[in-house]
Amino acid sequence: MSTPRSSQEVNVFPDVTVAGVQMEPRVGRKAENVARSIQLIEQAAASGATVVVLPELCNSGYVFESRQEAFSLGESIPDGASTSAWEEASRRLGIYVVAGIAERVEDKLYNSAVLVGPNGYIGTYRKLHLWGDEHLFFESGNLGLPVFHTEIGRLAAIICYDGWFPEVYRLLAMQGADIVCMPTNWVPMPGQCGDHAAMANVLAMANAHSNGLNIVCANRVGTERTQPFIGQSLIVGAQGWPLAGPASVDQEEVLYARINLKASRRARHLNAFNDVLRDRRDDIYDPMLGTGWPLPRH
């Protein structure tokens, strides 16, 4: 006769419904952008989502004309207006929200992602790898790669170009991350449009498989000051296959996927012999990717 499991044991590995919100922010129109994001958050929550991911810089827009404009659109975290609005929605709806925001810290500006939940502000991630003209406006991130432990699992955030660096995903996997939330503003690159899959999607799938991670990529759409964005938001499971998407190239859309954390953590075990983290040759490189010899930086 089997012994009944307690409700606590049953819920150790809950199923989690995640949502990737693909939207079209308008540069400089913060109040409108945040209001639209709240509408989409509410839509996602009504459809059962527990984790909702918004695009990069979704409250401010992306293509700044000047450093002055970028700073004027920056806000403090967690007491700025945008974070406060997302926090209120998270508390009211009992969900987690990850959103891209220009974070102002005195005379510095960071391309950041903020995580809020049912009990309020949880943490901030600052983009490590800046893309293009972002170097004119933002400082490189200085908070490392935090993993936030929540009652539904271990959540992490990265932003857009960070996804081109396999070290990012490996370091998050080494810290036990379950779901990587990626606010992003993907732009056209060779091979990203037409009959080819977006390179960003291919990279997300490959890194999900190599590390046993679920990845929620929330991109934007539209053209901002002549810069087009490619949409194609995607949710990838821990075995590397899409769970939802890619979304359209030009329409606002919300993607949904249900993730079983128990199965996700087991996805790192490929068979009886192989585990993608255990099989690393840490006699050649240390577990946190140090090599033991100096590498040039240019």
Q: Is the dihedral of CA 113, 58, 202, 116 positive or negative?
A: positive
Q: What digits encode the pLDDT tens for the residues 153-188?
A: 999 999 999 999 999 999 999 999 999 999 999 999
Q: Is 262 designated active site?
A: no
Whether 295 is in a domain gets the answer no
Q: How many domains does the chain have?
A: 1
Please report whether residue 297 resides in a domain: no
Distance in angstroms (rounded) separating the CA atoms of residues 102 and 127: 10
Residues 6+ apart with CB under 8 A from 83: 75, 77, 99, 101, 114, 116, 121
Residue 283 banded pLDDT, cuts 50, 70, 90: confident
Options 58, 75, 103, 160, the catalytic residue? 160
- Please check whether residue 276 lies inside any domain of the structure: no
Instruction: Using the structure block, give the residue that is written with the tokens 């190239």.
Output: 249
CATH of the domain at 91: 3.60.110.10
Give residue 194's domain range: 15-266
Q: Per the residue annotation, which of 56, 75, 103, 224 is the catalytic one?
A: 56
Q: pTM above the 0.85 mark?
A: yes
Does the annotation count 108 as an active-site position?
no
> Computed over its alpha carbons, how large is the radius of gyration of the chain?
19
- Choose the catalytic residue: 127, 134, 224, 253: 127
Task: Write the pLDDT tens digit of every residue in 116-161.
Answer: 999 999 999 999 999 999 999 999 999 999 999 999 999 999 999 9
- In the residue annotation, 160 being an active-site residue is answered as yes
